[in-house]
A and B are shown apart, each in its own frame.
Chain A
Amino acid sequence: MSSTTSTAADRGARTTRAKRPDYLSAAAGTAILAVLLFPLYWMVNTALQPEAALAEVRWVPQTLDLGNFGRAWSSQADNLLTSILVALGAVAVCLALAAPAAYALARFRLPGGRAVVFGTLITQMVPGIVVANALYNAYVELNLVNSYLGLILADASLGLPFTIILLRAFMVSIPEEVLEAGMVDGAGRWLVMLRIALPMSRNALITGGLFTFLFAWSDFLFALTLNTTDAVKPVTLGIYEYLGAHVGDWGAVMAVATLSSIPAAVLLVLAQRYVAAGISGGSIK
């Protein structure tokens, strides 16, 4: 169906492109958006309606009832804070490891460098549950189960390969003369990287950091498997347990879900171009 409409609209676009904005396509786009984002709307809509009315949820909230959010907040505020701390920690670990590695892989003629790049690409096929399976047992021996450090280190793995590849691709294109000028001043390789290469790669660093934050924020698997107590509980784990314990209380569950979606929404608004660059970086060139 969509293909037939697009032929018609295709033709329309060509004739009117120069003259008038294509409002027909804009309307079609809005309809597509409405259908695909409806579940998200429903989540917020349910969260805003009082619990009693849930049997007959209205399509639009009649009054602004924040009772569900109140209950959600009182049970999940700690977990949200944990999520933020763990995600920020994962970003720090990831960037600290990725930046020098990417710099060296991009700028130095390292023997074995290609093997490292190849290995980094390959890591993407290792399933998280396999990592968790082995990591849990290693963590037991290292006393890292139920610790912030343990979860931060594990979550950093979600963004590291991606960030290395992204940064490296970016740093390859820094002109050699710029870096050589830094070397002339007598600065060592680390200083040149810190003072020149990293500031120039700001956008790639932001993109890598943003995605690592989102990956760590979204992590459920490591939180579930590497924690056996409530000591370190991110909100993804919180929502899963909350759902199990309050199956009837959809209003509050949807409020928790809404709260946990906020970082994604905020990043999309504030850092739209970085997000787009992260997903499709290669195709922009």
Chain B
Amino acid sequence: MTTTVRESAHATGTENAERSRSSRPGAERRRVVSQWLFVVPAVLYMLMFFSFPLVRNAVMSFQSYTPATYFTGEAPFTGLDNWRAVLSDELFAASLWHTLLFTLGSLAGQFVVGMALALFFQRRFPLSGLMRSLLLLPWLIPMVVAGTLWRRVLDQETGVLNGALQGLQLTDSAIPWLSSPDFALLSVVLVNIWIGIPFNMVILYGGLQEIPREIREAAVLDGAGFFRRFFSVTLPMLKPVVTVVLVLGFMSTVKILDLILALTNGGPAHATETLGTHTYQLSFLQLDFGQGAVVGNVLILVSMVFAVIYLRANREGVTR
């Protein structure tokens, strides 16, 4: 998905060039209309499936939108009632906090391991291409499947992880990975790190490949050690790619729902409730779509803060 960013950067560049080249005055309206017909279906679709939900959620958060609505067909406006109800609930603050911990913890783990693997695969050895492909599997399987298989691995009594840890005498008692509020969020983060490593590795690997070999070799000749080379040469040159990986990673991680539902359903004792699962619970289990919309809007706001960073990084990519 880096494609998105980098290629678009490239494309916007050409578009600029084209525009200045062809300032033909008075472009024929008919040409424009017939050309727009190519884009109209996709634009209408995106308005329906992306823009409309944003607007509808914003409006719904001020409405009493409950099961009664389906009988009466009415969703009366109730001002800030939904917002007040949601924000005063302790669960909301907990969800927000869990979302941040989950997202930042996942990103940090995925990035560090992904970077280490990307650096490792810089070397040429037999079957490295095949190995890089196989490593993608955790990222390609459905998240619900990943969640399900990790439930098996992390099972307190019969899971292989506790079995191995106890066999190696690393722990005396079985660790309640998913069944204790103290461990559940950590476990969910660890599983999500496992899922996200391949994505980080592939993008960072691609970025590393673009750094000219001579530059690194020059650093070696200057006597720079591994860490010095990494922090003074590699990382600064990789900065645009790193920004893209982290921002795209943030935007896709902050909204994760399937994995958490499959692993813990938000429990135990709401220990893994995030803004996403909280929205789901309110809207689709308690059928209070108005309150669900409030939490959904907060989730969008959190995403938006990072979208701004994303777009600024994108612009940086163009000027480069």
Contacts and interface: CB of A to CB of B under 8 A. Distances in A.
B39 interface: yes
A264 B137 contact: yes
B258 A109 contact: no
B126 to A, nearest CB: 5
Interface string A241-276: 001000000100110110011001101100010011
A260 B134 contact: no
B6 A283 contact: yes
Interface in B249-272: 251-252, 254-255, 257-258, 261-262
A129 interface: yes
A265 B142 CA distance: 11
Contacts of B168: none
A267 B137 CA distance: 10
A133 interface: yes
Interface in A152-182: 153-154, 156-157, 160-162, 164-166, 168-169, 172
A108 B152 contact: no
A42 B57 contact: no
Contact of B135 (A33, A126, A130, A240): A33
Contacts of B18: 109
B136 A268 contact: yes
Contacts, number: 360
Contacts of B292: 133
B11 interface: yes
What's the interface size class on B, roughly? 35 or more
Contacts of B199: 279
Given A130-B296, A165-B8, A218 B143 contact: yes
Contacts of A187: none
B8 to A, nearest CB: 6
A169 B209 CA distance: 21
Given A13-B124, A108-B38, A134-B52, A218 B257 contact: no
Interface in A1-32: 2-4, 6-7, 9-10, 13, 17, 21-26, 28-30, 32
A117 interface: yes
Contact of B144 (A157, A166, A239, A276): A239
> Main SS of the interface on chain B?
helix
B79 to A, nearest CB: 20
Q: Which of B133, B148, B227, B276 counts the most chain A CB atoms within 10 A?
A: B148
Interface of A: 2-4, 6-7, 9-10, 13, 17, 21-26, 28-30, 32-33, 36-37, 39-40, 42-43, 46, 54-55, 57, 96-98, 100-101, 103-106, 108-111, 113-114, 116-117, 119-138, 140, 153-154, 156-157, 160-162, 164-166, 168-169, 172, 189, 193, 214, 217-221, 224-225, 236, 239-240, 243, 250, 253-254, 256-257, 260-261, 264-265, 267-268, 272, 275-276, 278-284
Given A264-B137, A281-B2, 17 more contacts: A3-B116, A32-B120, A36-B197, A96-B41, A110-B39, A127-B296, A130-B296, A136-B283, A157-B49, A172-B14, A218-B142, A220-B257, A221-B258, A236-B258, A243-B148, A257-B148, A282-B10
